[in-house]
Chain A
Amino acid sequence: MATTAEIVERCQALFDDLHFETARAWKSAEPGRKVVGYMPIYVPREIIHAAGMLPLGILGGGDQLEVIHGDAYYQSYICRIPRSTIELGVSGRLDFVDGMLFPSICDVIRNLSGMWKLMFPEVYVRYFDVPQNYVDEIGGNYYVNELRELREGLEQLGGRKITDEALSRSIAVYNENRRLVGAVYDFRAERPWQAPASDVYLLTRAGMVLPVEEHNALLQDYLTAARAEEKPLRDNCRVVLTGMFCEQPPLNLIKSLELSGCYVVDDDLMLITRWLLDDVPTDGDPLDNLAKAFLHQSTATAAKYEPDLKEKGQHLVRAVRRTGAEGVIFAAPSFCDPALLDRPMLQHVLKAENIPYIAFKYAENSGQMQPIREQAGTFADSIKLWSET
C-alpha cells in the first residue's frame, strides 16, 4: 500500500509538469484520442468523458512559468491567470489540446474564449454559458439545450456519437469522484493534522490532469493511507479558506497558512470537483439529470447569482458550522472581479454571525509569503487567545 507521502509525491510531479506529459501520453496511447481543456469554474466533464476524450483542467501557469508572451496581451490591471494561460498556448504547451471550454465565471475568462478563437482557429472553442435562472422550465430548458450543443460539438470533434448510455456511465464515474473528494474533505475537516491542506490540494489538483478512473483510485489510496497514518496534532486554529476558485494560489501560500497556525478545514479550491453537491441520477435523461443537478444541487459561489437575499453567504456560515471552523480567510487573486465584488457581502454575513475573518490578495506567482504568514499567524493567535469558544 502506498503511503500518503508517495501519493503526494506523484501528485506533486503532476503539478510541476507544465508540459502536461501525462495527458500527452494518454492521448498518444491510442490513435484518434482527443483532449479537451477547460478553465475554472465548472464544466460538465461527464460529457467530455462520455465522448471518450480526456477533460484537462487548465489553471494557469502557477509560479514556475515564466510569462514572456502572455503579458503582451493584457494590461497591468487584469489578473494573472489569462496571461499565463495564453503563455501556455503560445509556447506550444497546449499544442496537443483539441478543444477548449471557457466557463461562465467572469468577463476576463469570457473574453479569453474569443481570443482563443482568434489565436488558435484550429481548436474547438466554446464559451460555456450556464443559466442564472434556476427554474426548470426556464433556466433548465436553456441549459439542457446548451448541454445538447456541447454534446453535438464534441461529437463533431470526436467523429462519433455520444450515447445516453455512455453519458449515464460517465455520470456514475464522476459521482464516484465526487463522493471520494467529499470523503477526503470530510476526513480533513475531522482530522486536519492527518491531511495537510497542501496534500489535499495536490490530490484534488491531480484530478485536473488524470483520467477520472485513475483519480478515483488515487483518492481511495490516499484515504486508506491517511487513515492508517498518525501525524502529530499541532495547536492550530481551524479555518475555512475562500476566494481561490479560479486563479490558483502558489503552493507555498497554502503551506504558509498551515505553518502560520491555521488548519484549513474547507476551501473553494478545485471547485469543479465539488460543484454538484449530490449524486447525479444515472437513470433517465442524462442531460436533464445534469441540468437539474446544476439548478438545484450545486454549490454557491461568486460566479452564480443568489436569488434569495437571505441565502447570500450562508454557504460560508454552513461550512464554518459543519467543519467546526473558528474563522474564515478571504484570499482572492488581485483584480478578481467575482471574489472581490462578492467579498463585502460575505463579510457582512460573517460579521452578523460573529465569525472572525481576515482578507488578503495574491497572484499565482506571488513570491513573498512572509506578510501573509504574519497576517495568518496573527489571526490564528487572536482566535486562540480571544475566541469566545
Chain B
Amino acid sequence: MSTATAQRPEVRKDDSMLKQKVMMAAHYDRLTSAKETGRKVASTFVPGNLNELVMCFDLLNNLPEVNAIQSGLRKQSGGYVMEAEKLGHSEDVCTYVKSDIGMMAKGNVGPNGKSLPAPDVLLLSYTGCFTFMKWFELLREQYQCETIMLHTPYEGDGKITANMRDYMVKQLKEEVIPTLERVSGVKFDIDRLREYLRESVKAEEDLVWVLQSAKNRPSPIDAYFGGIYYIGPIFGAFRGTPEATDYYRALRTEVDARVAAGKGPVTPEGDMGEEKYRLVVEGPPNYTSFREFWKMFYDEGAVVVASSYTKVGGVYDFGFRHDPDHPLESLADYCLGVYTNRNLPQRVDMLATYVDEYDADGLLINSIKSCNSFSAGQLLIMREVERRTGKPGAFIETDLVDPRYFSPANVKNRLESYFQMIEQKRSGRRAPAAPVAAADTGGVGGAA
C-alpha cells in the first residue's frame, strides 16, 4: 500500500456529486476546446449570472469566480495570488481577482489541465459587488475584448422599485442583447429565452425543496459545505438546461431518501454521526482548506441548516422564480434580488428567519477578508440576529482562496468554544466570556 493511499481515505461521494462532477468536466472541456469547435465565450459573474440569456446566443459561459474556486480547491490559488501581487496588485484587495489574474499570467490553465480561452465578450453583470466592475476593467485591459456593463442597482431601501426594474430591462434590450447579437452573430429569439426560463423554474423548485429539507431533524443535508455542491449547476453554466433539471431531480430524490431513512448529511468521510448542533452560517467559505474546514464541523456533530452563501447566485427560497411570461423583467428581478444586492436590514431579516424556521442553535459568521460586500457590517448583523432570536452568535475570519488567511488552530478553537457556549445556553447556565467573540476585531461578537 502506498503512503499516499494510507494517509488519504477515499472521499465518499453521493451519486449527485458524481453526476455534477461529470457535468463540470464536460463544461470545462467545452470551454477549453472552444477554439477548435468554434464556440464563442462570454465571461460573467455568479451573482447576476444571466445563463439563459447567454445560451440564447450559443455562447459558452465562463465564470472567473468559479475558476478561482477551482484553483483554491486545487491548492493553486496561493501561488496565483502572489503572482498577481508581484504584478502590482495590492495585498489588500479581493483574492478572487488576484487568483484570476495570477492564473492568466501563468497560462490560464483550467481544472482539466488545458488552457482556458480568451473571452469574446465580458458580460459585466455589476450585481452586489463593487469589485466586479474593477475586475472586468482589469480583464478588458488584458483581453482587449468587448465589454458590456449591466448595472444592477442596489436595494438600498430593501425593495425593488419600478425604476430599478425598468432601468435593467432597458439595459438588457438596448445594450446587452444587441451587443451579444453582434458578438455571437446569433439573432435573439425571446421564445428561446422563455424555454430556457421554463427549464430554470423546474431546477429552482427542486433546489428550494432540497435546501428546505434541512428543516428536518436530523437535517439530511449540510446547507453550507454540502450546499456549495448543490448550488454548483444552478449558479454556474447550467441554469436553464435539461442537465440542471435532471441533476436537481436526482438530488431531490437522493435527499428524500435520506429524510425517509432519518439520515443526516453525507460528509467526505461518509454519513455524519449524531446531529448535535444546528447552525445558520453567513458568508462564503474558505476554499483552500475546504475539507479541513468542513471536518471541524462534522467532527463535532455540527450541521449547517441554512446559509447565506447559497443565496449569492439567486434567492429562491422566499418565492422568486424566473418567469417565462415576463422574461426580461424576471432576469432583472433575479439580479436585483441576489443576496449581496440586498441591504443589511434585509440580510438580518433573512438570517433571523433562518435561525427561527430551521430551529438553529445560532448564527455563525465566517468573515472573509477578501469580500467587503459580505463582510462590512457583519459584526452588526451578528449582534442584531442575536438580539432578535435570543440565540448566540459567533465570528470567525478566513479568506476565499488565499491560504495565508486560513489559520486552522484559531478557527477550530473558536468553533469549539462556540459549541461549548451553545451547550451552556441549552443547559441554562450563564455562558462565560468566550473567545468565540471577534477578539481580533474589537469583541462585539460572542454570547448575547
Contacts and interface: CB of A to CB of B under 8 A. Distances in A.
Interface in B127-167: 129-131, 133-135, 137-138, 140-141, 144, 147, 149, 151, 153-154, 156-157, 161, 163-164, 166-167
Interface in A119-174: 119, 126-129, 131-133, 135, 137-139, 141-142, 145-146, 149
A139 B167 contact: yes
A132 B92 CA distance: 25
A309 B139 CA distance: 11
Given A305-B137, A341-B131, A117 B372 contact: no
A112 interface: yes
Contacts of B166: 141-142
A228 B442 CA distance: 52
B93 A149 contact: no
Contacts of A305: 124, 126, 133, 137, 149, 151
B97 A341 contact: yes
B71 interface: no
B87 interface: yes
Contacts of A141: 166-167, 170
Contact of B379 (A72, A127, A133): A72
A106 B124 CA distance: 16
A258 B136 CA distance: 36
B131 A138 contact: no
B107 interface: no
B129 A335 contact: no
A352 B368 CA distance: 36
Contact of B93 (A108, A119, A139, A341): A341
Contact of B376 (A107, A132, A135): A107
Interface in A304-321: 305-307, 309, 312
B10 interface: no
Interface stretch (B19-27, B180-188, B286-294, B343-351): B343-351
A119 B384 CA distance: 10
Contacts of A107: 129-131, 372-373, 376
Given A118-B345, A341-B97, A111 B377 contact: yes
A82 B380 CA distance: 13
Size bracket, chain B contacts? 35 or more
Contacts of B367: 75
A345 B441 contact: no
Given A114-B345, A126-B156, A337-B372, A74 B141 contact: no
Given A133-B149, A334-B92, A343-B90, A126 B344 contact: no
A132 B126 contact: yes
A301 interface: no
Interface residues of A, number: 62
A347 interface: yes
A364 B174 CA distance: 43
A73 B144 CA distance: 41
Contacts of B89: 344
Contacts of B397: 75
Contacts of B154: 104, 110, 127, 129
Contacts of B147: 307, 309
A138 B138 contact: no
Interface in A69-97: 71-78, 82
Interface string A324-347: 000000001011111011111101
Contacts, number: 182
Interface string B419-448: 000000000000000000010111110000
Contact of B175 (A133, A335, A342): A133
Nearest to A119: B380
Nearest to A82: B376
A135 B174 contact: yes
Given A106-B372, A115-B380, A75 B438 contact: yes
A80 B76 CA distance: 32
A113 interface: yes
Nearest to B441: A75
Given A118-B348, A129-B156, A112 B376 contact: yes
B88 interface: yes
Interface string B232-256: 0000000000000000000000000
Contacts of A146: 163
A73 B170 contact: no
A312 B141 contact: yes
Interface string B383-414: 01000000000000100000000000000000
B376 A137 contact: no
B147 to A, nearest CB: 8
Interface of A: 71-78, 82, 102, 104-108, 110-115, 117-119, 126-129, 131-133, 135, 137-139, 141-142, 145-146, 149, 302-303, 305-307, 309, 312, 332, 334-338, 340-345, 347-348, 361
26 contacts: A75-B378, A75-B441, A77-B92, A77-B375, A78-B375, A107-B376, A110-B156, A112-B377, A117-B343, A118-B344, A118-B380, A127-B156, A133-B151, A138-B170, A138-B171, A138-B174, A141-B166, A142-B163, A302-B134, A332-B90, A335-B92, A337-B93, A340-B90, A341-B134, A341-B135, A344-B138
Given A110-B156, A309-B140, 4 more contacts: A75-B379, A78-B372, A307-B147, A343-B90
